């Protein structure tokens, strides 16, 4: 499964820091940023049935960043 988030992360160094923290905190997630996209996309690929979106958003907020789930189109 894949969940896509709109973020306000703009700096690649911040993106790398967040990716490290996401991978340490959520063992089953594979994350990447698309900072070229206007929505500064964070994609999470996960293998479990459910993703803890709230915990992921809280993790980013703990570092001073915003994130929200982009709805499926």
Domain ranges of the chain: 15-67
The answer to pTM > 0.85 is yes
Burial class from Cβ neighbours inside 10 Å (0-12, 13-18, 19+) for residue 73 reads exposed
As given in the structure block, the two tokens for residue 60 are: 């980013």
Summarised one tens digit per residue, pLDDT across range 5-37 is 999 999 999 999 999 999 999 988 999 999 999
As given in the structure block, the two tokens for residue 47 are: 């293998």
The dihedral over CA atoms of 42, 52, 61, 28, expressed in degrees to the nearest 10, equals -60
């Amino acid at each position: 499964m894949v969940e896509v988030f709109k973020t306000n992360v703009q700096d690649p160094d911040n993106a790398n820091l967040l990716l490290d923290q996401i991978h340490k905190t959520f063992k089953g997630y594979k994350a990447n940023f698309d900072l070229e996209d206007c929505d500064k996309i964070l994609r999470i690929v996960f293998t479990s049935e459910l993703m803890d979106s709230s915990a992921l958003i809280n993790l980013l907020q703990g570092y001073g960043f915003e994130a929200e789930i982009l709805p499926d189109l």
